[in-house]
Amino acid sequence: MKKSHIVEKLLGDLSRYTPSNKAVTAYAPTNIALVKYWGKRNQELNLPMTSSLSVSLTDKGATTTLSVSAIAQDVFVLNGKPVPTTSVFYQRLLCYLDLFRPFKTFYFNVDIVSTVPIAAGLASSACGFAAMALALDKFFSWQLSSQQLSMLARLGSGSACRSIWPGFVEWHAGEREDGMDSYAEPLSVQWPELCIGLMIVSDKEKTIGSREAMQRTIETSELYKSWPQKVAHDLVILKKAIQEKDFDLLGKTAESNALAMHATMLSAWPPVSYYLPETISAMHRVWQARAEGVPVYFTQDAGPNLKLLFVDKDRARRYFPEIAVMQA
């Protein structure tokens, strides 16, 4: 099944493709998964093997402004600079927008302002494609539901489906082949005291992208076979922790889930490791802090940096003076 078929299912009548003659703007926050999305059951439609649960970062995200291009090609600008046409990002945007052109020679002008720290392993494609889906909805006056927007964002990047909302968000894996039951939904709980501290241990470029890494893990890692059970278990516990505002339970569940995700990669072949020596040092520092009574946990995505989780801001901040703290 092609993405274009899904877009047809979502949007229905093509006559709804009436572009705005004014520029429209939309914002979407980036999100940090506490129970990770790792592995696709459908690569074309970004359908996941398991459900996942994230928390959006209020003020880190992408603001996308969409208008009709003044020239006979798309124009993509990121933080004031043209996106190189040879970059992967350019190609992914181009393919995504191909799904929505009212006619073949319709071109977009896309201006993205991102507040996501560059190269920090913060999912910039998540907020990027979520903001794009929201902007497209405004631009064409579709008035889609959040559920539909979540699926539309997912076609751009899996975890983008969670960036449609602030706060805690669960992405239901779904079972359908067309993915029409694979979308995210917000949890009703607010927890403004929860903080995420970004601990950058290296700004070296990744040796392997997350798409390739997850695919290799699915194909070659025996331990990955237990991953769906691990996720199912962690989701139940994490939702309980959020409901009861039990920070230690949240931290423990998130840290264990992240470690298990990396564990599935280590047993892939060739092994996939996002661990740098500095990552291990950072992990030991977190464990040491906990041993000294500081309630802090970490999570780690497909990169060497850690994201610290804590509520008792000042204590963790004092212990890790170098972290950039972001409100969840």
Site for a second copy contains 119 (CB under 8 A): no
Residue of 163, 264, 299, 305 interacting with a second copy (CB under 8 A): 264
Minimum Å gap between C-beta 86 and a second copy is 26
Site for a second copy contains 91 (CB under 8 A): no
CA angle 233, 185, 118 (to 5 degrees): 90
Residue of 40, 278, 312, 313 interacting with a second copy (CB under 8 A): 278
Closest to a second copy by CB, 58 vs 226, is 226
Cβ-proximal residues to 214 (8 Å cutoff; 6+ apart), any chain:
38, 39, 40, 302
Site for a second copy contains 223 (CB under 8 A): yes
Residue of 196, 252, 296, 310 interacting with a second copy (CB under 8 A): 252
Site for a second copy contains 275 (CB under 8 A): yes
Minimum Å gap between C-beta 255 and a second copy is 7
Minimum Å gap between C-beta 235 and a second copy is 12
Site for a second copy contains 236 (CB under 8 A): no
- The C-alpha R_g of the chain, in whole angstroms, comes to 20
Minimum Å gap between C-beta 267 and a second copy is 4
Site for a second copy contains 224 (CB under 8 A): yes
Minimum Å gap between C-beta 289 and a second copy is 14
Site for a second copy contains 202 (CB under 8 A): no
Residues 50-69, interacting with a second copy (CB under 8 A): none
Minimum Å gap between C-beta 319 and a second copy is 19
Site for a second copy contains 267 (CB under 8 A): yes
Beta bridge partners of 22: none
For 234-265, letters b (16+ CB in 10 Å) and e give bbebbbebbeeeebeebbbbbbbbbebbbbbb
The CA distance from 88 to 78, in Å, is 13
Site for a second copy contains 312 (CB under 8 A): no
CB 285 within 8 A of CB 320: yes
- Judged by phi (left if over 0) then psi (alpha if -120 to 50, else beta), residue 57 lies in beta
Specify the pairing of strand 75-78 against strand 108-114: parallel
- Range in contact with a second copy (rule: CB under 8 A) among 84-92, 126-134, 141-149, 267-275: 267-275
Site for a second copy contains 280 (CB under 8 A): yes
Residue of 277, 288, 324, 327 interacting with a second copy (CB under 8 A): 277
Residue of 281, 292, 322, 324 interacting with a second copy (CB under 8 A): 281
Site for a second copy contains 327 (CB under 8 A): no
**Count of CB atoms situated within 10 Å of the CB of 305:** 23
Question: Which residues make up the interface to a second copy (CB under 8 A)?
Answer: 222-227, 229-230, 233, 252, 255-256, 259-260, 262-264, 266-267, 269-271, 273, 275-281, 283, 287
